[in-house]
Amino acid sequence: MKLRRSTEPSARVALQARDVRFDWAATPLRWMPTEPVASHVINSLNLLLPEGERMFCATYHEALPYVKDDRLREDMLGFIGQESMHAETHHLVLDQVFQAQQIDPAPYVAQMEYVFRNTAGRREGTAKAVENRLVERLAFIASLEHFFAWLGDWILNTDLERHGADPAMLDLFRWHGAEEVEHRNVAHDVAVYFGAGYFRRALMMLMVIPILLTLILRGTKFLISQDPALPAMGYPKLIWKVLGAMWRGALPGIPALLISALSTFDPWYSPNRVGSTEQAVAYLAASPAARAARR
């Protein structure tokens, strides 16, 4: 495993986990009343993220002993703290919003456990195989983190209030999105430090795009199938409804997503191109859930 020193300048802040406190008592399942399908598309992230982010943390804990760069190590520890808080906070939504409204998340969560603990998790083997697997997982995380930072920037700058968005759920995703923007450089820097070169990262991005979209679409269909207020939908109808929500601005559009993905194939790609650290930090200071935890 070839380790490298990162020299990429960035708008760097000291990363730290923030306590947050959400009150879910009044949050409806379809938290954008005029956009029920879009609500479930974003709700699907509550099913997906806890296990995904636990895998991120486990992988970084595995990688930390190899890291000799003090600054990168500090960033990784801050990243782990933030991702751990994200995982636990989204997991609470499963209990306090989904199950409270007769949605059983267990079958889909079990699938995510398999995906992230087995398919994308650590595997035993020779020392060389374990090292290669670690670098692949770090590149996988870097690709996902690009999209999560992009989604974070989108939700920070999109007026979902005009769709009647529930304040608590909107704050959850804006708080999470702001921290994704804040730590957007870390996963890329770690992957590069561990020797994940351009072609390896490009190949991983080509894999991540369909995987992420498939998991979100499956999660959305799963939630709609359990929602008594919505009719069952096959994938063609669901995709048509999702495209309509994108057209109305309740979801990020496919063209913007593809442009963002293609930007990572630039040999001089930098995560600094995604979002604004200053905007993210400003939102984190004003987040109702973060302020509630400080009281």
Domain at 208, CATH number = 1.20.1260
Strands (E), 100-245: none
Q: Position of tokens 């993210």?
A: 280
Query: Is 286 a residue whose pLDDT tops 50?
Result: yes
- Say if 13 falls within a structural domain: no
**Residue 69, in any domain of the structure:** yes
What was the pLDDT predicted at 132? Answer: 86
pLDDT in the model for residue 117:
87
What average pLDDT does this structure show over 167-193?
A: 97
- 198 is a domain residue: yes
For residue 140, what are the CA distances in angstroms to 49, 188, 204? Answer: 15, 10, 6
Rounded to whole angstroms, the Cα distance separating 208 from 214 reads 10
Query: For position 13, what pLDDT does the model report?
Result: 82
The answer on pLDDT for 6 being more than 60 is no
Q: What mean pLDDT is predicted for residues 52-80? A: 96
In the predicted structure, residue 10 carries a pLDDT above the cut 90: no
**pLDDT of 131 strictly over 90:** no
pLDDT, averaged across the chain: 92
Range of the structural domain that residue 198 is part of: 36-294
Total number of domains in the chain: 1
Average pLDDT over residues 172-181: 98
Residue with tokens 């996988």: 140
Q: Please report which confidence band the pLDDT of residue 124 belongs to, taking 50, 70 and 90 as the band edges.
A: confident
DSSP 121: S
For residue 120, what pLDDT is reported?
Answer: 66
Q: Quick check: 230 pLDDT over 80? A: yes
* pLDDT at site 128: 78
- In the prediction, which pLDDT does 11 show? 55
What CA–CA distance (Å, rounded) separates 172 from 3? Answer: 36
Residue 294, pLDDT score: 78
The reply to whether 27 falls in a domain is no
Please report whether residue 237 resides in a domain: yes
Residue 9: predicted pLDDT: 44
As given in the structure block, the two tokens for residue 287 are 């987040």
Please name the residues in contact with 214: beta carbons below 8 A apart, sequence gap of 6 or more.
Answer: none
The answer to whether residue 287 is domain-embedded is: yes
Average pLDDT over residues 130-157: 94
φ/ψ bin of 246: left (φ > 0), alpha (ψ from -120 to 50), beta (otherwise): alpha
Q: Residue 6 domain-assigned?
A: no
